Amino acid sequence: MFNRRLCILTAAAWLALPSAFAQSAGKPVRIIVAFAAGGPVDTMARSISEPLGKALGRIVIVENRPGASGAIGANEVLKAEADGGTMWLTSVGAAAINQSLYAKLSYNMQKDFAPLSLVANNVEVFVANDKNPAKDAAEFVAQGKSRRESTPIASSGKGSIPHLALLQLEQATGVDLLHVPYNGMAPALTDLMGGQVAAAFADVPAVMTYLKSGRLKALGIAAKKRHPLLPEVKTFEEQGIKSVDTNNWYALFVSAKTSPEVIRSLNKAVQQAVADPAANAKIAQSGAEPKTSTPEELGSILKADIDKWAQLIKARNITGDE
């Protein structure tokens, strides 16, 4: 009985899709992730893959294509057929920051890709070693201003959201910070807990385990409102520090050659997938905020963030090219 019902639901989902998408119904749908397996974007993709498959009436598989700051994953999507069967799940870095960092980027987000939907918002939290005497970001800044030397702040790499967030903090307060870039957040947090650096900005999902264990402490939220999993931690604005506001959102994109009809159908399926109770709870428990959008809304967010980060990157003469 269950199998019969599943077949009926699958057939109904398939028939509801536009013909351009339905013609390739035998093939799995691919979600390309431009990061290694086990990371937050990969986890997000795997959280929605099953309910997305149910909504589409297709098998959905996650493929990891890490490297070249997201370009390998992006190019994998662009060389596939533009039939909606290959999507790119990425964070804000590869989507809105890379084109300002790299002079010879192999893709152009606004020309080569079409926005599909947000999947989650992912704000930054400012964390310090548990032995740091500062109770919040305002005290940390005051502490830094009293020092003769620069205060070392870790990031997951040059041009990353954590790097740009520390530049926002430096610009907003005048505190002298020394950027210490790492090859990813994991080694940065290891050194932070070991006392080699004083603090770091990080995605909430990346540090929840350390915050719960007491090895790190949260000093401020880089967003307009407090985080539901860290309700006691004030935003920077609440602490009198303005313009420290980041969102390392995750979103889905497809080739710009994909038909509007297919994009609308995929968007509806993504909305259903993220609303799925199990997927929604998994995303929220990780520390991210489940959040979908229309393609048009994502397009506006993308443009605003491209402009926002380009101004800061240009002003500070940051480049990702070696």
Who has greater pLDDT, 36 or 178?
178
CA distance 200 to 127: 6
d(CA 146, CA 138): 13
Q: pLDDT band at 38, cuts 50/70/90? A: confident
Look at residue 14 and tell me whether its pLDDT is greater than 70.
no
State yes or no: pLDDT of 156 exceeds 50. yes
d(CA 198, CA 210): 15
DSSP, residue by residue, 163-204: HHHHHHHHHHH---EEEEE-SSHHHHHHHHHHTSSSEEEEEH
Dump strand ranges (E) for the chain.
29-33, 60-64, 86-91, 113-121, 124-129, 151-155, 177-181, 199-203, 216-222, 250-255, 289-290
* pLDDT bucket at 8, cuts 50 / 70 / 90: very low
Assess whether pLDDT exceeds 50 at residue 6.
no
Per-residue pLDDT, 21: 56
- Take residue 60 and report the two structure tokens written for it: 């959905």
pLDDT the model gives residue 2: 42
| pLDDT tier at 9, thresholds 50, 70, 90 | very low
In this prediction, residue 36 carries a pLDDT of 87
**Percent of the chain whose pLDDT exceeds 90:** 86
Domain ranges, ordered by start, for the chain: 2-122+248-315, 124-239
Which CATH number among 3.40.50.300, 3.40.190.150, 3.50.50.60, 3.10.510.20 corresponds to the domain 2-122+248-315? 3.40.190.150
Q: What is the mean pLDDT of residues 132-141?
A: 97
Q: pLDDT at position 40, please? A: 86
pLDDT tens digit sequence for 240-249: 999 999 999 9
pLDDT tops 60 at residue 12: no
Q: What is the three-class DSSP state of 17? A: coil
**How far is residue 8's CA from residue 15's CA, in Å, rounded to a whole number?**
11
Asked, colleague to colleague, whether 2-122+248-315 and 124-239 share their fold, the answer is yes
As separate numbers, helices (DSSP H) first and strands (DSSP E) second, the chain gives 14, 11
This prediction's pTM: 0.89
- What is the Cα–Cα distance from 240 to 234, expressed in whole angstroms? 10
Superfamily for domain range 124-239: Periplasmic binding protein-like II (3.40.190.10)
